[in-house]
């Protein structure tokens, strides 16, 4: 089978779905929505968790978010390859079950360390169910409808992340543990629907075992960088501890790279990064999600610490932004692609809109609450930017990739998003901690950091994604076809 050709049916598709394609896509959307929702649903629970666990500062509480994101990122690609071997529906169900059990354990955690450990279990489940859901979507949806389905899938993931603080704010009013327990009924229903409606799909030729050691080194590398960034707030950049953490991160990252060239089923597929659009999309995704993660946490901290909003009030204040995501992703972005001359320009526009939204907020921010005239315009603009940027980045990264590498490529792009989130949150925690004496000044510094990330992401889009690589060039850069990557 030549690269770029559609792989055999056995490698991609299973039986016809019982409830139709739309019903299956809806079930798969639940998985990506839940996993993204739990990225940021804990943000508004931080004050309540801190009150129950005295002595837990923002730095230690941030690991409740970072542990989930780091493990999620590391598990994505190996879990996708494992799903190809054992069956994608089976992997989806296993992932949903582990995620649901992890949610139960989070709600029962007696301390911050236990909560971080339970979030790790949650993350393993999310890291298994997301690539399985994407593989199944690619198997079920006809090729001519695939671009639109991928846009909806990624937009729902972005919507879930953006709605996290909104839903979390309401649940914290009941009790912070309900932030996690809300997943229990949703997870059970999703498992039942998956078993009933989703057809099984696997790659019968897949025999290679995923690179679990590479995944471990990747998690360590990202975690060590995050720890170093957080440590700089207290110790400064001259600290030997900070540089020791960064050196260890470099060594772990080097182990990932070396292993990727030697392992038959690596965490990172080296050939994919020879594609200009793919490597550019991955880099832009890291920067964009660093901005996205910093923006959400900074906004939550400002609303609760400066304006003294309750968690419910803060969640409702953030809500208008997420409401803009889906219409802009589904209706506006597709129409802008031909007008602007490519998906890369739409991604750059989304980054620019995000930066402008933060500039507006930086100009208008004040200590006295003035939501409608000050924060709301920035929220609406920011939500529009998310709807334009996130599906466009995934679409740009997938452009020119042979069908047999769509699953692996999309898994790496999703990994880049999680890595960006970790780095953005860690950088924001360091920024806020350094200016903790004045919360308003700290928020301004956080906004400036967010603008810098958005601008950097937009610059990468303009420099790299506007001039698309030809599919033939991408295909030539890849190794011999591996049917297991048809997911």
Domain of residue 115 covers 9-197+206-486
CA angle 99, 398, 460 (to 5 degrees): 100
State residue 4's pLDDT score.
36
Residue 210 lies in a domain: yes
Question: What's the first-to-final CA gap in the chain, in angstroms?
Answer: 16
State residue 26's pLDDT score.
77
The count of domains in the chain is 1
Residue 391 lies in a domain: yes
Residue (of 107, 446, 484, 120) closest to 303 by Cα position: 446
Strands (E), 5-103: none
State residue 100's pLDDT score.
95
Residue 4 lies in a domain: no
Residue (of 421, 206, 173, 194) closest to 310 by Cα position: 173
Give the CATH number, domain containing residue 388.
Answer: 1.20.1250.20
Residue 413 lies in a domain: yes
State residue 166's pLDDT score.
75
Burial of 22 (0-12, 13-18, 19+ CB in 10 A): exposed
Q: Which residues touch 334 (CB under 8 Å, ≥6 apart)?
A: 148, 151
Q: Of all helices (H) and strands (E), which one includes residue 318?
A: helix 311-318
Residue 142 lies in a domain: yes
| Global confidence as pTM | 0.79
Backbone angles phi, psi at 345, to 5 degrees: -70, -35
* Chain centre to alpha carbon of residue 449: 19
State residue 452's pLDDT score.
96
Local confidence pLDDT in tens for the 487 residues of the chain: 333 333 443 444 445 555 567 777 778 888 888 887 777 778 778 778 888 887 777 777 778 888 888 888 888 888 877 887 788 889 999 999 999 999 999 999 988 889 999 999 999 998 888 888 877 887 777 766 666 676 677 667 766 766 777 787 788 888 889 989 989 998 999 999 989 888 887 766 666 677 778 778 888 888 888 778 777 766 777 788 888 988 998 998 888 888 888 887 777 778 778 878 888 889 999 999 999 989 988 998 899 889 998 888 888 888 888 888 878 887 898 889 888 888 889 999 999 999 999 999 999 999 999 999 999 999 999 999 998 998 888 778 876 666 556 566 767 888 888 889 888 988 898 888 877 778 899 999 999 999 999 999 999 999 888 764 444 344 444 444 333 333 3
How far apart CA 240 and CA 221 sit, in angstroms, is: 18
Q: Are 98 and 68 in contact (CB under 8 A)?
A: no
**Three-class SS state of 101:** helix
Q: Of all helices (H) and strands (E), which one includes residue 104?
A: helix 88-108
State residue 421's pLDDT score.
87
Residue 1 lies in a domain: no
How far apart CA 130 and CA 150 sit, in angstroms, is: 13
Q: What is the dihedral angle through the alpha carbons of 49, 50, 51, 52, rounded to the nearest 10 degrees?
A: 50
State residue 158's pLDDT score.
65
Residue 213 lies in a domain: yes
SS3 letters for 437-481?
CCHHHHHHHHHHHHHHHHHHHHHHHHHHHCCCCCHHHHHHHCCCC
How far apart CA 339 and CA 341 sit, in angstroms, is: 6
Residue matched to tokens 């529009």 = 384
How far apart CA 60 and CA 330 sit, in angstroms, is: 38
State residue 381's pLDDT score.
94
Residue 215 lies in a domain: yes
How far apart CA 115 and CA 117 sit, in angstroms, is: 5
User: With left for phi above 0 and alpha for psi between -120 and 50, is residue 400 left, alpha or beta?
Assistant: left
């Amino acid at each position: 089978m030549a690269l770029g050709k559609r792989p055999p049916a056995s490698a991609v598709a299973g039986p016809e779905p019982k409830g139709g394609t739309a019903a299956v896509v809806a079930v798969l959307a639940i998985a990506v929505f839940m996993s993204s929702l739990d990225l940021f649903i804990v943000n508004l629970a931080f004050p309540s968790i801190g009150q129950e666990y005295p002595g837990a500062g923002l730095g230690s509480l941030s690991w409740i978010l970072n542990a989930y994101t780091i493990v999620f990122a590391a598990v994505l690609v190996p879990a996708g390859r494992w799903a190809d071997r054992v069956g994608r529906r089976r992997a989806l169900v296993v992932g949903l079950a582990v995620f649901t059990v992890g949610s139960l354990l989070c709600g029962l955690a007696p301390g911050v360390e236990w909560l971080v450990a339970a979030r790790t279990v949650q993350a393993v489940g999310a890291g298994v169910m997301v690539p399985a859901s994407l593989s199944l979507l690619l198997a079920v949806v006809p090729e001519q409808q695939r671009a639109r389905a991928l846009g909806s899938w990624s937009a729902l993931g972005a919507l879930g992340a953006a709605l996290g603080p909104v839903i979390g704010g309401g649940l914290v009013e009941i009790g912070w543990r309900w932030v996690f327990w809300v997943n229990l009924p949703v997870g059970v229903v999703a498992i039942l629907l998956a078993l009933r409606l989703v057809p099984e799909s696997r790659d019968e030729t897949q025999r290679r075992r995923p690179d679990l050691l590479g995944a471990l080194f990747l998690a360590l590398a990202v975690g060590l960088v995050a720890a170093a960034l957080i440590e700089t707030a207290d110790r400064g950049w001259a600290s030997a501890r900070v540089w020791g953490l960064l050196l260890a991160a470099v060594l772990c990252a080097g182990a990932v790279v070396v292993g990727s060239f030697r392992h038959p089923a690596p965490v990172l597929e080296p050939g994919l990064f020879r594609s200009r659009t793919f490597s550019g999309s991955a880099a832009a995704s890291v920067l964009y999600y660093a901005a996205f993660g910093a923006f959400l946490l900074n906004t939550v901290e400002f609303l609760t610490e400066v304006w003294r909003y309750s968690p419910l009030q803060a969640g409702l204040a953030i809500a208008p932004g997420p409401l803009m995501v889906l219409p802009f992703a589904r209706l506006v972005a597709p129409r802008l692609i031909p007008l602007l001359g490519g998906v890369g320009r739409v991604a750059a526009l989304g980054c620019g809109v995000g930066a402008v939204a933060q500039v507006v907020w930086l100009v208008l921010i004040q200590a006295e609450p003035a939501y409608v005239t000050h924060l709301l315009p920035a929220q609406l603009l920011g939500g529009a930017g998310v709807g334009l940027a996130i599906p466009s980045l995934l679409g740009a990264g997938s452009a020119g990739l042979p069908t047999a590498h769509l699953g692996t490529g999309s898994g790496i792009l999703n990994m880049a998003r999680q890595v960006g989130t970790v780095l953005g949150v860690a950088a924001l925690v360091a920024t806020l901690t350094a200016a903790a004496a004045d919360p308003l000044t700290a928020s301004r510094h956080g906004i400036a950091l967010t603008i810098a990330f958005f601008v950097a992401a937009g610059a990468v889009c303009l420099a790299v994604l506007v001039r698309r690589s030809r599919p033939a060039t991408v295909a030539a850069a890849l190794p011999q076809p591996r049917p297991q990557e048809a997911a």
